[in-house]
Amino acid sequence: MTRILGFETSCDETAVAIVRDGVEIESNVIAAQTDLHARFGGVVPEQASRAHVRAILPCFEEALSQAHADWDGIDAIAVTHGPGLAGALLVGVNFAKGLAYARNKPLLGINHLEGHVYANWLESGPSVDEPTFPLVALIVSGGHSDLVLSDGHGSYRRLGRTRDDAAGEAFDKVARLLGLGFPGGPEIERLAGSGDPRRFRFPRAWLEPDAWDFSFSGLKTAVRQQVVDLGVDADQATPEERREKLPLADLAASFQDAVVDVLATKVARAAQTFGATRLALGGGVAANRALLQRVEDMAQVPVLCPPPRLCTDNAAMIAAAGFFRYRSGERADLTLDIEPGLPIA
Ligand code: KG4
Ligand code: ZN
């Protein structure tokens, strides 16, 4: 039995977790900063760093106590060292390094995006015992839209990425256009549930015929133009005016359909093209059940998707990825540094 202590502070969640054998969550503590950033409509980096400093020690103590764990039971410490906000990553990395040194425990630096992939095996139960390869993964969050091929643990090839906005960023920006709160994804999904996805024909950016990349800025501009055509000043209108005047459900449904259409089509095609045995989703946008439904409809192979609370940022996924790296003998040392622009491959 191997127990990994995981830390995640790459963006606006301070998270600490303890995971057994890469799959079983013993504790998963998350201090979200949503309220802190909501009034700015996005994450404010300096505020995020300070909030991590305030939250990390209480979160760590809570994670130990929930798991009824002490130091003897911890085999290694895994921490996100990139990609993410530099000041935010520094808090987690330095805290983890301090603990590893003080308690003489092995240390592992984890790529946040790899964590989103490994969230798929948490609490998987008997139906999915170990990751199988090749695996095609779609990681869609507020900061990333990556299409990835993995041939084995820790081995990745990036097939495609966004050329402009990330998928979650598009949800957040469109939510703002519609006068909704931040983060926008959950609210758009809720409204879309009662809307007509065919009322507005928004563009799908398929790009070149063989392209695996994504692009969402044209879609965002099209929604903005539609808002103007519906008689709302896209720059000046208050959130209340927007919500009153606009057919929110139909706009949300039509927008979501355009995003889901492109994401699902490309990931299903990639799985087939590269002979994947499994298809995995991850990242905050994977919490969207319409996306999961469409991917399941289109894919020829089993589709994995974490429950919504494990799609968004957490430290259990970092501990899970850490387990497989620990098992393969990997170790970081105290020179481990943050890598804000770290790609998955
Ligand atoms: O993975 P995550 O928690 O943080 C990053 O690493 O970015 O993802 C947050 C993003 C936000 O843009 C949020 O709007 C989006 O995920 N999101 C959703 C849903 N829940 C969260 N997007 C669409 N549908 C959802 N249900
Ligand atoms: Zn994330």
C-beta of 82 in contact with ligand 1 (< 6 A): no
Q: Residue 46: exposed, middle, or buried by beta-carbon count in 10 A (0-12, 13-18, 19+)?
A: exposed
CA gap 88, 12 in Å, rounded = 8
180 C-alpha vs ligand 1 centroid, how far in Å?
15
C-beta of 115 in contact with ligand 1 (< 6 A): no
The pLDDT value given to residue 129: 64
Q: Mean pLDDT, the chain, as a whole number?
A: 95
What distance lies between CA 157 and its chain's CA centroid? Answer: 18
Residue 280 pLDDT more than 90?
Answer: yes
Helix (H) or strand (E) holding 189: helix 185-192
Residue 131 pLDDT more than 90?
Answer: no
Nearest CA residue ID for atom 10, ligand 1: 142
Q: Which ligand is nearest to the CA of 13?
A: 1
Kindly list the distances between the CA atom of residue 315 and the CA atoms of 2, 9, 21, 76, 110, in Å, as whole numbers in the listed order. Answer: 16, 9, 15, 14, 11
With bands split at pLDDT 50, 70 and 90, how would you rate the model's confidence at 125?
A: low
76 C-alpha vs ligand 2 centroid, how far in Å?
22
Q: Which ligand is nearest to the CA of 312?
A: 1
With bands split at pLDDT 50, 70 and 90, how would you rate the model's confidence at 124?
A: low
72 C-alpha vs ligand 1 centroid, how far in Å?
36
Taking alpha carbons only, the member of 168, 275, 266, 279 closest to residue 208 is 266
Residue 239 pLDDT more than 90?
Answer: yes
Residue 126 pLDDT more than 60?
Answer: no
The pLDDT value given to residue 130: 77
Ligand 1 atom nearest to 183, measured from its CA: 14
Q: Which ligand is nearest to the CA of 144?
A: 1
Tens of pLDDT, residue by residue over 170-184, are 999 999 999 999 889
118 C-alpha vs ligand 2 centroid, how far in Å?
12
330 C-alpha vs ligand 2 centroid, how far in Å?
23
Hey, is 324 helix, strand or coil?
helix
The DSSP line for 240-266 is: HHHHHHS-HHHHHHHHHHHHHHHHHHH
Q: Which ligand is nearest to the CA of 284?
A: 1
C-beta of 283 in contact with ligand 1 (< 6 A): yes
Per-residue pLDDT, averaged over 123-150, amounts to 86
Which of 14-23, 118-127, 266-275 is least confident?
118-127
The pLDDT value given to residue 330: 97
Probe target for ligand 1 pocket from 10, 28, 141, with the most ligand atoms within 8 Å of CB: 141
Residue 81 pLDDT more than 70?
Answer: yes
Residue 166 pLDDT more than 80?
Answer: yes
The pLDDT value given to residue 209: 87
For the chain, percent of residues with pLDDT exceeding 70: 98
Tens of pLDDT, residue by residue over 29-44, are 999 888 777 777 778 8
317 C-alpha vs ligand 2 centroid, how far in Å?
10
